[in-house]
């Protein structure tokens, strides 16, 4: 706080408070102090937000944790019996590799994953500050990124995609510095290497984030042309292309190796996705209707809408202030941030919604647009009143967001009930099928409990299904001969209608069922005329754990496998009901 003591000794003796607030810009020391205070405050709150709860209520997170547990547990038979690791088949490497390594330090993969999530949430405002500084905009605008980053996309568990966004901001900031003519040749080399490393890191975080980085890098460099000149634009494009060669090679290798363009997210055993092949687009009117909903509508009680109103109100205030800030002399700044915002908005409305089960593609770009939207504010803050007023507004809205999310995450953990207690009763290293009859929540407007059965694989080892291994996205694969029978498409969303007990009876050892509080499991869930239903091992208000009965057939059968037994049972049933009806007329005609 050196600038405060200097202010107390000198400035107050020569100028009034009014002059100090409205006639002078904040000093460099003041700016850095306020920026540091914002970053430290946001960083601590983000880390606390994810580390304090027992479980994070992010829909797909248990699936990611199950994959990380399989990677981390390759030395232990309770995991290695079922899974093998193929790093080259996936581009979800940064999150998984980071959590795998950190798990050795903290003792479990869930805590390691929480540290990863907390770190990228904490550094997102710093990445935003770096980006806006590179474009000579007020650096404190980057703190606003802390609001939309805790979004619907994050609560859906798209950890890889959301964590790629601060990486793209840093990459675009490096490229903006590279384009400036005042950069020295030595800086050019460092910035080129940095951009290449960031691009490579981005492709191994998420492919859509990498695609955005490539497009945004091109748009940004061209938009900086009037400011830096054609020569610097061509130099930047050439250096950027050279730096991107390793990441382009990695992307090409992954596309060829995984076959993602031909298969998409088509589940194993399903020839094509339910809605058909190719690109599917959403109506522009529907996208317009959901522009805030797709980022902020997390909770049923409207708390997310309150955060959205505060965020949009702050942006509108910045846009209004831009009209009152006069330009100084020959002040020149590029329109690159505004151009990137426009491109993100266009992609939100007109990009494909789905490609072969990979969805939603377009919804992701509204989050990117919200990270860039502070660029519509004043290009400079001419006095202390505006600087400190905006900084105070950012601090208040960030605090509001933290309080709301902390409270609701705590409630969601309470709603999760005694899941850990129930799973502790299951033997390690077995096979468990999750069947959430109630995936919803009274608090969050998402299927928060869709994949919670994967905590068995995380905590107890073994194999839990339904899992993302059915989609062949992760660097984890089933070992030959241990994969479960294929599932019907969208099985996890409605197991009561799609589950066939006869098909899975001889594979799974446990069935984890989630119901509404104090509701019974329907008898039709395990209905079979051939096999004995599993018996309940432990139950709580919401969770019921069933275990397979050792003698699964209702009657002794000479057939070796349930599949053969089932076919023979169908044959015997057909003979009992159909053959007598056919044979009866023939028997009557043979009587003399």
Instruction: Tell me the pLDDT tens digit for each residue of 308-318.
Output: 999 999 999 99
- Please say whether the beta carbons of 26 and 384 come within 8 A: yes
**pTM across the whole model:** 0.87
pLDDT at 567: 56
Per-residue confidence (pLDDT) for residue 590, from 0 to 100: 36
- pLDDT of res. 587: 42
Tokens 């000149």 correspond to: 229
pLDDT of 584 strictly over 50: no
Instruction: Work out the number of other CB atoms within 10 angstroms of the CB of residue 31.
Output: 18
Distance of alpha carbon 395 from the chain centroid: 26
Residue with structure tokens 């500084």?
133
Q: Which of 43-47, 547-551, 570-574 has the weakest average pLDDT?
A: 570-574
3-state secondary structure of 546: strand
Indicate if the pLDDT at residue 98 is higher than 90.
yes
Q: Is the peptide bond before 360 cis (omega within 30 degrees of 0)?
A: yes
Distances (CA, A) of 443 to 408, 416, 449, 453, 495: 7, 11, 12, 20, 23
Answer yes or no: is pLDDT of 9 > 80: no
50 near 56, Cβ under 8 Å? yes
pLDDT band at 556 (very low <50, low <70, confident <90, very high): very low
pLDDT level of residue 55 (50, 70, 90 thresholds): very high
Mean pLDDT, rounded, for 24-36:
88
- Tell me the backbone φ, ψ of residue 414, rounded to 5 degrees: -65, -40
How far is residue 337's CA from residue 327's CA, in Å, rounded to a whole number? 18
Kindly state the average pLDDT of the residues 421-435: 93
Query: Distances in Å between the alpha carbon of 353 and those of 152, 361, 517, 543?
Result: 16, 5, 36, 35
Across residues 252-275, what is the average pLDDT? Answer: 62
What strand order describes the sheet that includes 510-514? 463-465, 431-436, 510-514, 543-547, 535-539
* 279, β-bridge pairs: 355
Which pLDDT score is estimated for 10?
A: 44
Q: Rank 6-15, 81-90, 236-245 by mean pLDDT and report only the highest.
A: 236-245
3-state secondary structure of 553: strand
pLDDT at position 28 over 50: yes
At 187-229, the pLDDT tens digits run 888 999 999 999 999 999 999 999 999 999 999 999 998 888 8
φ, ψ for residue 431 (rounded to 5)?
-120, 125
Average pLDDT, the chain: 84
What's residue 69's pLDDT? 94
pLDDT exceeds 80 at position 568: no
Is 170 within 8 Å of 123 (Cβ atoms)?
A: no
pLDDT band at 331 (very low <50, low <70, confident <90, very high): low
Q: What angle do CA 449, 453, 457 make, to 5 degrees?
A: 140
Q: Is the pLDDT of residue 551 over 90?
A: no
**CB atoms < 10 A from the CB of 45, how many?**
20
Highest average pLDDT, of 88-97, 104-113, 183-192, comes from: 104-113
Distance from C-alpha of 213 to C-alpha of 174, rounded to nearest angstrom: 12
Least confidently predicted of 90-99, 353-362, 372-381, 572-581:
572-581
CA dist 217 → 119, 135, 237 (Å): 25, 13, 9
Q: Alpha-carbon distance 49 to 304, whole Å?
A: 16
- The secondary structure of the chain in percent helix, strand, coil, rounded to multiples of 5, reads 60, 5, 35
Neighbours of 16 (CB within 10 A): 11
pLDDT band at 559 (very low <50, low <70, confident <90, very high): very low
DSSP reduced 3-state for 514: strand
- The whole-number pLDDT of residue 575 equals 55
- Residue owning tokens 């797909």: 60
CA terminus-to-terminus distance, the chain: 118
pLDDT at res. 323:
83
DSSP conformation letters of 427-486 = PTT-EEEEEES----SSBSS-TTSSGGGHHHHHH-SEEES-GGGTT-SSEEEPTT-PPPP
**For the residues 171-187, what does the mean pLDDT come to?**
85
Report the pLDDT value the prediction gives residue 193, as an integer from 0 to 100. 93
């Amino acid at each position: 706080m050196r600038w405060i003591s200097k202010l107390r000794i000198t400035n107050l003796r020569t100028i009034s408070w009014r002059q100090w607030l409205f006639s002078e810009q904040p000093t460099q020391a003041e700016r850095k102090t306020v920026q540091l205070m914002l970053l430290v405050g946001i960083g601590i709150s983000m880390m606390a937000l994810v580390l304090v709860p027992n479980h994070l209520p992010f829909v797909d997170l248990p699936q990611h944790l199950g994959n990380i547990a399989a990677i981390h547990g390759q030395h232990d038979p309770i995991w290695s019996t079922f899974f093998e690791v193929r790093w080259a088949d996936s581009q979800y490497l940064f999150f998984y590799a980071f959590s795998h390594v950190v798990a050795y330090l903290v003792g479990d993969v869930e805590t390691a994953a929480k540290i990863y999530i907390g770190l990228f949430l904490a550094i997102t405002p710093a990445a935003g500050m770096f980006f806006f500084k590179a474009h000579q905009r007020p650096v404190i605008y980057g703190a606003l990124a802390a609001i939309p980053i805790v979004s619907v996309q994050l609560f859906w568990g798209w950890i890889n995609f959301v964590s790629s966004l601060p990486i793209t901001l840093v990459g675009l900031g490096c490229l903006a510095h590279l384009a400036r003519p005042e950069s020295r040749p030595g800086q050019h080399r460092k910035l080129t290497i940095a951009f290449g490393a960031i691009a490579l890191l981005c492709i191994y975080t998420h492919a859509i984030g990498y695609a955005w980085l490539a497009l945004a890098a091109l748009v940004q460099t061209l938009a900086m042309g009037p400011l830096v000149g054609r020569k610097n634009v061509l130099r930047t494009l050439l250096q950027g292309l050279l730096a991107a060669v390793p990441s382009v090679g990695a992307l090409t290798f992954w596309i060829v190796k995984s076959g993602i363009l031909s298969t998409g997210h088509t589940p194993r055993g399903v020839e094509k996705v339910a809605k058909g092949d190719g690109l599917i687009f959403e109506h522009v009117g529907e996208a317009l209707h959901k522009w805030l909903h797709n980022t902020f509508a997390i909770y049923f009680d409207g708390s997310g809408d309150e955060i959205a109103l505060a965020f949009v109100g702050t942006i509108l205030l910045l846009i209004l202030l831009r009209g009152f800030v006069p330009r100084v002399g020959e002040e020149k700044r590029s329109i690159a941030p505004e151009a990137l915002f426009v491109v993100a908005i266009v992609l939100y409305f007109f990009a494909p919604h789905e490609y072969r089960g990979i969805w939603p593609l377009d919804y992701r770009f509204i989050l990117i647009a919200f990270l860039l939207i502070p660029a519509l504010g004043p290009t400079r803050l001419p006095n202390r009143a505006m600087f400190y007023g905006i900084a105070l507004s950012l601090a208040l809205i960030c605090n509001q967001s933290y309080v709301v999310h902390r409270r609701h995450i705590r409630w969601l953990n309470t709603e999760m009930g005694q899941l850990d207690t129930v799973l502790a009763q299951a033997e390690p290293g077995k096979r468990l099928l999750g069947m959430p009859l109630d995936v919803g929540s009274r608090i969050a407007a998402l299927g928060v409990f869709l994949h919670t059965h994967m905590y068995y694989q995380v905590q107890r080892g073994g194999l839990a299904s339904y899992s993302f291994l059915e989609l062949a996205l992760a660097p984890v694969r089933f070992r030959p001969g241990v994969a479960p029978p294929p599932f019907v498409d969208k099985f996890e969303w409605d197991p009561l209608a799609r589950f066939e007990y006869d098909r899975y009876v001889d594979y799974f050892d446990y069935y984890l069922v989630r119901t509404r509080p104090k509701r019974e499991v329907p008898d039709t869930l395990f209905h079979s005329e051939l096999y004995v239903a599993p018996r309940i091992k432990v139950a709580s208000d919401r969770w019921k754990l069933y275990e397979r009965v050792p003698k699964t057939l209702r009657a002794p059968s000479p057939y070796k496998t349930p599949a053969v037994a089932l076919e023979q049972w169908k044959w015997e049933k057909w003979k009992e009901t159909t053959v007598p009806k056919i044979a009866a007329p023939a028997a009557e005609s043979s009587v003399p």
